[in-house]
Amino acid sequence: MDWQGRKVLVTGGAGFLGANLCHALAARGARVSALDGFLFGGGANPANLEGAPVELVRGDIRDIDLRPLCEGAEVIFNLAAQTSHMGGQRDPLADIAVNAVAQVRLIQAAREAAPEAVVVHASTRQFYGRAHRLPVDENHPVAPPDANGVSKFAGEQYWMLEHRVQGRPVVSLRLTNCYGPRLRIRDARQTFLGIWIRCVLENRPFEVWGGAQTRDMTYVDDVTEAFLLAATQPECYGRIFNIGGSPPASLHELAEMMVRIAGPEARYVTREFPADRARIDIGSYYADDTAFRSATGWRPAVELEDGIRRALDWFRPRLEAYL
Ligand SMILES: NC(=O)c1ccc[n+]([C@@H]2O[C@H](COP(=O)([O-])OP(=O)(O)OC[C@H]3O[C@@H](n4cnc5c(N)ncnc54)[C@H](O)[C@@H]3O)[C@@H](O)[C@H]2O)c1
């Protein structure tokens, strides 16, 4: 698709993935509106949209009138979410209000104001729960390990229902751990890698919890590319796809890689998994994303080592804006 002049709505547009997507869309000439409620504890940061010619609407998807925002949109990238797993455990009602109830609000508003719009929904691998087999494909059973997994699954299913019943072109991308520029690095709320990056750049040891769990990581530019492709390839419509990334590595291997890249000052300590987090941990995971690769030709372009280097280089001069 030629994005030039196309009207696009990005919910969660000031967050980590949403802002990177906004930059990419604006660079391709799209007319982008970003909706974000700057929710406490999430990845929203005003610095994320600096330099992007994007209309930022500060509003909460739970109560803002969504119809004017949807009006005329050709594509809706739907990334707004309560993403904290511990937050969801503490307050499951607030969690479901954003991740499921507000999704139904958006579905209803889009039905009235943007009946033709393609929707690409940001979903998660989290609700597969502990993997029965690796790698995990889209047919793996769903067994959410926490309240956030339940609400994210419900949100996705409402969107897929909209495809089945109303015929709307909807694609759901089940993402794995994503990282790169504009990640929340202030604390450990947005993947372990965020706080690792902060510690390394502040010359403090970072903590590895457990260490044997394996993860695949997707560099944010590859995630952005996946969203753009999903929106533009009709063979994706009505389907759910896993998005993977780098070959799986254990947290210890990732920590060693981080130290190798960052230099001799960087160091880490290994800690036992905190009990409250261990209860909702999914163990080892990596995605089988062959379906998306076959449908679109997508494959991750940024290797892990290169991606970590790029992320460190990006944050180094901008650290203050992200603390
Ligand atoms: N980053 C990852 O590794 C990852 C992995 C799996 C799934 N996802 C999904 O991708 C999407 C984006 O995640 P992210 O990592 O960019 O997180 P993020 O927290 O950086 O972005 C989410 C954005 O949504 C906004 N938001 C939350 N509630 C809102 C509300 N009620 N009204 C308006 N805006 C609201 C937040 O302020 C935030 O800017 C989410 O749906 C998330 O579940 C991300």
Do 145 and 129 meet the contact criterion of CB atoms below 8 Å apart?
Answer: yes
Rounded CA gap, 46 and 219, in Å? 21
Q: Is the CB of 22 under 6 A from ligand 1?
A: no
Q: What is the 3-state secondary structure (H, E, C) of 199-242?
A: HHHCCCCEEEECCCCEECEEEHHHHHHHHHHHHHCHHHCCEEEE
Rounded CA gap, 109 and 151, in Å? 20
In this prediction, residues 162-187 reach a mean pLDDT of 98
Residues 226-274 have pLDDT tens digits of: 999 999 999 999 999 999 999 999 999 999 999 999 998 899 999 998 8
Ligand 1 probe mutation, 9, 33, 83, 156, most atoms within 8 A of CB: 83
Cα separation values, 73 from 6, 77, 111, 240, 242, Å: 8, 10, 11, 22, 26
Q: What is the pLDDT of residue 275?
A: 87
Number of other residues whose CB lies within 10 A of the CB of residue 223: 24
Sign of CA pseudo-dihedral 283, 138, 229, 111: negative
Within its chain, how far is the Cα of 24 from the centroid? 15
pLDDT grade for 278, boundaries at 50, 70 and 90: confident
Q: Is the CB of 149 under 6 A from ligand 1?
A: no
**Which class in CATH covers the domain with range 7-179+220-245+286-302?**
alpha beta
| CA of 265 relative to ligand 1 center, distance in Å | 32
Tell me which amino acid residue 76 is: I
Q: What is the pLDDT of residue 141?
A: 98
pTM: 0.98
| CA of 38 relative to ligand 1 center, distance in Å | 10
List the chain domain ranges: 7-179+220-245+286-302
- Between strands 249-250 and 214-215, the pairing is antiparallel
Q: Is the CB of 81 under 6 A from ligand 1?
A: yes
Rounded CA gap, 184 and 89, in Å? 20
| CA of 263 relative to ligand 1 center, distance in Å | 32
pLDDT grade for 135, boundaries at 50, 70 and 90: very high
Name 83's Cβ contacts closer than 8 Å, sequence gap at least 6: 42, 43, 148, 189, 190
Q: What is the pLDDT of residue 281?
A: 87
